[in-house]
Structure 1
Amino acid sequence: MARRPDLVGLTVLAMLSVRASHPYELHRFIVDTHKDYVTGLPRSLYHAVERLAGEELIVPVETSREGRRPERTVYEITDEGRRELATRIRALLENPGAERRTFTAVVSLIGVLPVPDALRALRTRAATIEGALAAMSGHLKAMRDSGLPDVLMIEVDYERAVSEAELTWLHQLIARLESGELDWPSTVRQELLGQVLGES
């Protein structure tokens, strides 16, 4: 069985690629931006931070304490962490085989990639889905030609309808990126993170 993607770790890497933060700040950002695919908070987040630090994808850069509060360690992403993040995001964007929850999570983190890389990954996904749709249509036709009743083909028809909807959405997203309507320069990403965390 294929290992499930580490969506919590991926989210931590994505947020730290914007700026160094401590786990409590990351927790607030996840909640405030409704990253609902991140479950088991706050424990899953702290475990992900520990795991990523153990793999040297993130490193502690500062520890501070305010009053009687527990110490807070600020982490930043390493160069290896940035490479790993980009590799994972590209692979999950390109591969339609991942479950839809995973794709939703990855799309929410797409801004960590340069726009040209995101476009390439989305075009690859769209081409794969187009090929799968052609195969499904051929399969449905063969089943109908063999005399099978429609009720025995409902699941294939459903998969085709869902794939067609995703392909339409992908084409719209690609068009928005190609036209420049949607982009994410790093300065804007930094400011947006500050806004979400309530900073000036």
Structure 2
Amino acid sequence: MATVVADLVGLTVLALLAERPCHPYEMQRLIRQRRKEQAVGSPRGLYRAVQRLERGGLIESAEVGRAGNRPERTTYRITAEGFEQFQHQLDDLLAVPDTDQPTFTTAVALLAHLSSESAIRALESRAVLLSGQIAEMAAQLAGLGPILHRVLLVELEYLLALRRTELEWVRALRSDIADGTLNWDAEAIRSGTAAPPGPVPEGGPMT
């Protein structure tokens, strides 16, 4: 009985083997060529994923060969069950929004534990970093667009859209705090009642 693919590295391995049988070194080459390193990480992680998938019956050895004095290389192929699970999980990942809570979401939820001045400084710093990431991603898209098929770049398009939306929201939040549209009264927050707009009361953030 095969196990469900639970990690993105394993999913990437199955995607490559769904195209054609290949050995781990060839997988690494394709990952670099397609600029997918962020999904896999280190080569060691890829080899561990291959071992897990083989143990689970999702992939199998197709042949073992040697070229010249190089070490033996095992070529793997995806099994029928592996292909079925790959298709099922990929469909779910695309269709169902991720429920994992990002780190930034937690930080925003605890915003009231900072002073308004500290929150403004932190948000300004985040906006600067986001702007740099956006510029870098846009440059990557411009450079890779004429080289790679767009279907290999849609993840970068998605990340760029997320960063741009986040930057817009961060700037708006920073502005609301700075002009007093958003403030927090420690006692009101503890009691769960809404505080009226205006200057932050004496005492600052929650303690």
TM-score by length of 2: 0.46
Q: Which has the larger radius of gyration?
A: 2
Of Structure 1 and Structure 2, which has the larger fraction of its residues in helix?
1
Give the alignment's TM-score, normalised by structure 1. Answer: 0.48
Higher RCO (CA-CA < 8 Å; seq separation 6+)? 1
